[in-house]
Amino acid sequence: MNILVSTAETQGRRESDFCFVPEGEPVMVGAACDKDRGDPDGGCGCLRSLVGFRSHTATTTVKTAVAEGMTREKYISEYLAAHLRTGFPEFRGTRLEAGMLFDAAQMYAEGTVLEYRNGRLAVRKDRGRLTET
């Protein structure tokens, strides 16, 4: 199964790009602040980035990578554990977010680079689609 992991590929395509997550680290949705609400290019960057499971740092670019032995349930469990390590409590949408990111990763061929903006993923470097949206 595919998962989304951090990558520095295509960094710099947007002036507001950044990548502080080690290459290949699985990513999750981070908390959004009031400062950036509605503006993915705001000063904080929370609306244009995903956060590393371990480093809890952010990146604007991710790619699909094969994770041997990964299942949807295992991914959601690891996502939830990573989320709880941030110090934020689980909220109603945490498991839904995890499932949505996992499902999105299944749509693209390995190595497809995506950007995250305002809760949406968009292709930056296409390696092919595996399923239709």
pLDDT at residue 126 tops 90: no
Which pLDDT tens digit goes with each residue over 22-76? 999 999 998 887 877 778 888 888 889 999 999 999 999 999 999 999 999 999 9
pLDDT band (50, 70, 90) for residue 81? very high
Domain boundaries, the chain: 2-125
pLDDT band (50, 70, 90) for residue 133? very low
Amino acid at 12: G
Residue 55 to residues 29, 98, 114, 123: CA-CA distances in angstroms?
Answer: 13, 17, 20, 24
Task: Give the pLDDT score at 34.
Answer: 80
- Name residue, tokens 């980035």: 49
In this prediction the pTM is: 0.90
3-state secondary structure 86-108: CCCCCCCCHHHHHHHHHHHHHCE
